[in-house]
Amino acid sequence: MKRKPLLSNFDQTLDLLRNHGFEVKLLEQGRVLVSKYGAGAVLASGKDTPVVFAVRPGAVIQGEVARLVDRGYQKFIKSSKYELPATAAQLEAIHTFGEELNDLLGGISLYNEALGTTSDRYLYDRLDGREAAPAAKATRPWELAGGH
């Protein structure tokens, strides 16, 4: 169930975010980078709602919102140029930023997101590349396999 947005237009939403200590930077094509605590997200004006996420919350690395990748044994921050191990402070900043932004935008709080930081991609080392492996030919145990 979606909650009704608190504000009626995009500009009012940006003013609200500025008043709550978020840094708002205009980007191209009507998008804005909203950041706080070293984390950020890219917002755009939506059709049905005043604001939609163009890029979900992540760590800001050199002015770019980096994605969070879970490799099973550790989470990584991945930007277009870098892939770095995520620190506890970065994960906490992303989580705090996401919760505060979601609350101000009138979004709903999901249980799994409230527990901690969720990743954008899950790349477990044992499963990586499995889908590309060719399927083995089905064996038929009732048929003799040569030699007997």
Of the listed ranges 2-6, 87-91, 94-98, 117-121, the one predicted with least confidence: 2-6
Q: For the segment 5-50, what is each residue's pLDDT rounded down to a tens digit?
A: 455 688 888 888 888 888 888 888 878 889 899 899 988 887 777 7
Mean pLDDT throughout 139-148?
Answer: 68
Closest CA to 101 of 1, 32, 26: 32
**What's the CA gap between 129 and 90, in Å, rounded?**
28
Give pTM, 2 decimals: 0.68
What contacts 120, CB < 8 A, 6 or more positions away? 56, 58, 67, 68, 69
Q: For the segment 65-92, what is each residue's pLDDT rounded down to a tens digit?
A: 898 888 777 888 888 898 889 888 988 8
